[in-house]
Structure 1
Amino acid sequence: MVQTVISVAGASADCPEWVLIDLQGSLETRHPVPLSGRFVGDLHFTQKDVPILIIGHHILYGKTVHLEKPFAVLVKKERSADTSMETDQNVSGTSYHVKALIRRKLLFKTRPKPIISNVPKKL
């Protein structure tokens, strides 16, 4: 039988909570470069907790949605039989560590609006 061990970071400590950002559509750049690890935009909240995402010269208004079933962010760890927590069975292989929980998502489903900073009155 295959056993998968999932441990929570610190037995008594709560896991940090992360938030998922859901964009309806795709992000396109002038140059086709991967966006992983790069700055995409600024995330702000209004006084009424409405999320606002500013990407370049565009602004997106969103809403906070509570997920029906939360997600767990897992980190895979390899372990050997001698470092097993259980002494009755010889458990080796893979274990998972819960790094964070995701219970909410920020949903941006409207089209981005352009930010216009200076409009001349008349020419």
Structure 2
Amino acid sequence: MVQIVISSSGAGRLAQWVLLELQGEGEPRQSGGLAGSVLGDLHYTHQGIPVLIVGHHILYGKVVQLEKPFAVLVKQGAGESQPAGPHARYTVTALIKTKLLFKTRPKPIITNVPKKV
């Protein structure tokens, strides 16, 4: 039997992360992927409704509490590139208890509509 040691990081509270769920797919303008790129701007209304602005589009979402929280694990110790073995150690660095759900179609942001002459 393989034992995997899981411990929490630091003496203080764990970081609280938020999961972002979008319907559809996001494609980068440049070939290379989305890693390290800024997706958009996240804002909240006075009523606590999340608003995501991506380019010239706006998405309205809702805050959902997860039924089962996720733990963010970082592998530590010997053979970090190898699969879990007898000396594998993981550290819990954050918890995810909430997700922002954007399930509606994005709406275009139109700021100035030219009038016909």
Report the TM-score range of the alignment, normalised by the length of the smaller protein: 0.7 to 0.9
1:1-123 aligned at under 5 Å gives the runs 1-11=1-11, 13-79=12-78, 93-123=87-117
Separation in 2, partners of 1:117, 1:102: 36
- Scaled by the length of structure 2, the TM-score of the pair is 0.87
The structure-2 alpha-carbon separation of the partners of 1:35 and 1:56, relative to structure 1 and needing over 3 Å to count, comes to: same
Separation in 2, partners of 1:10, 1:58: 40
Separation in 1, partners of 2:54, 2:27: 11
Query: 1:65 deviation in Å?
Result: 0.4
Unpaired segments of 5 or more residues in structure 1?
80-91
CA contact (8 A) 2:27 2:34 kept: no
Letter of the 1:43 counterpart? L
Query: 1:40 deviation in Å?
Result: 1.3
Deviations 1:2-47 (A, max 9, x none): 2111111124x21010000000110123443300001110000111
What secondary structure is seen at the aligned counterpart in 2 of 1:21? strand
- Scaled by the length of structure 1, the TM-score of the pair is 0.83
Separation in 2, partners of 1:71, 1:56: 30
Larger Rg: 1
